[in-house]
Amino acid sequence: MSTYKCSCFCKSVQFQATLKNLDLVVCHCSMCRKLTGSTGFASLECANDVTFISKKHLAIFNSSEVAERGFCSNCGTTLFDHFKPANAFFIPPAIIENLPEENIHFVEEIYFDNKPSYYAYKNKTKKKNESNFK
Ligand SMILES: [Zn+2]
Ligand SMILES: [Zn+2]
């Protein structure tokens, strides 16, 4: 397990996170797509091992009863999804500095049945549907 420095685009928010592993997961649920404005929310899990260096402009949005999203209120960067029942943080790879790209494995796509038809990743991943989380 390695610790990485994470930061938003404008560097107002900075923190250190210890990644659980280097397995990338993408969630295709409508909430993740809307909140990121993108084709799903890609993240790496770092459990609850997050240490803030700077919280300036850190904003928290409660996206559901079980999760909150962290973002920078200055530049808008998505910083994490905090799943409260497990106290686990899920961090998008692009905010992690010096991430060893070649060691990242895109392993899983979740809420796959929520994915719109206009995009599809070519990676060979394990697919889980919404029913897997009920
Ligand atoms: Zn920022
Ligand atoms: Zn999602």
The pLDDT tens digits for 50-88 are 999 999 999 999 999 999 999 999 999 999 999 999 999
DSSP string, 2-44: -EEEEE-TTSSEEEEEE-S-SEEEEE--HHHHHHHTSSSEEEE
Ligand closest to CA 128: 2
Question: Ligand 2 centre and the CA of 55: distance in Å?
Answer: 24
Neighbours of ion ligand 1 (CB under 5 A): 8, 10, 12, 72, 74-75
Residue 103 lies in domain: 3-133
Instruction: State the pLDDT at residue 47.
Output: 83
- 123: domain CATH number? 2.170.150.70
Please state, rounded to an integer, the average pLDDT across all residues of the chain: 96
pLDDT average, residue stretch 13-35: 96
Q: From CA 125, how far away is CA 103, in angstroms rounded?
A: 16
Domain count, the chain: 1
Ligand closest to CA 14: 1
pLDDT average, residue stretch 11-20: 97
Instruction: State the pLDDT at residue 134.
Output: 78
